[in-house]
Structures are given as structure tokens and as C-alpha cells.
Amino acid sequence: MSNDIIHILEGYRNDRLLGAVIREVLAIVSNATFKSKKSGGGAEKSTAVSRIYSTRSSLPKFRKECFSGVFESISSLGATETMVQLHVIETLNCLISVWLSLETGAPLGVVVAKYPTPGTEFLIGSDYDK
């Protein structure tokens, strides 16, 4: 699974809206040990995911400096209503959420959450393999 999601992202590195954050993700994983996992939950409506990110990013305690791709993802996910599936990539320094369209397989949302203190979170597991 690790290489599958990376391969998908490589195909969208020049995307008009998400290209910059996708290139950031590819740079992160090229220099780090990581683990990836597809969400075990069901698919979500892209517009609902967009609203969730919009709401969270408007909260007073939202730390903009800890995230990249949030506002691009809000725009991309909210542009059309389609079903999306969450894929997560975790490194020692960040957690990356990739929302793939079930219809086209394209990434519609890519959000990088950087840990305030690198190496303090292990959300997927501790046995990292690339």
C-alpha cells in the first residue's frame, strides 16, 4: 500500500490546485521512513470533508503554521460532490491525509499536519517500513 499511494500522488505532482502540496509530500516521503494505510471506514462526500476542514481551520485554536494544503483541499474537495476515501501517510514528523476520489482515483484533498514536536505521535503504528 505504501508505494501505491505514492505512485498515485506522483501522477498529480503538477496539479493546478494541489500540485505544490503533493510535491511537498513527495519530498517528505523521499527522505523519511513512513507507513501508509487506507481508512477502514466508509467513503465520505467530498463536500462534507471540505466543510469539516473549513470549520476546523476557522477555530481560534487552529495553528495554521502546523498545516499545509488545508485551504487548497477545502477548495478542491468542495468544488464537486463526489465520494472520497481517506488514505493516511505517517512519518515521525507529520501525518498526511490524502482524500482520493472513488470515481476517478484522483487526489481531491491533501493535508500535511506537522507535529509540533517531531517524533511524538504514532497514529498508525510503530513498525515503519518504506
- The whole model's pTM is what? 0.86
Mean pLDDT value across the chain: 88
C-alpha 74: how far from chain center: 12
Look at residue 117 in the predicted model and tell me its pLDDT.
66
**pLDDT higher than threshold 80 for residue 123:** no
| DSSP-assigned states of every residue in the chain | -HHHHHHHHHTTTT-TTTHHHHHHHHHHHHTS--EEEE-SS--EEHHHHHHHHHHHHTSTT--GGGEESHHHHHHHHHHS--EEEEEEEE-SSEEEEEEEETTT--EEEEEEEE-SSTT---SS-S----
Phi, psi of 80 (to 5 degrees): -140, 145
Look at residue 64 in the predicted model and tell me its pLDDT.
86
pLDDT digits (tens, 9 = 90+) for 46-100: 999 999 999 999 998 888 888 999 999 999 999 999 999 999 999 988 999 999 9
Domain assignments of the chain as residue spans, ordered by start? 2-114
**pLDDT higher than threshold 50 for residue 127:** no
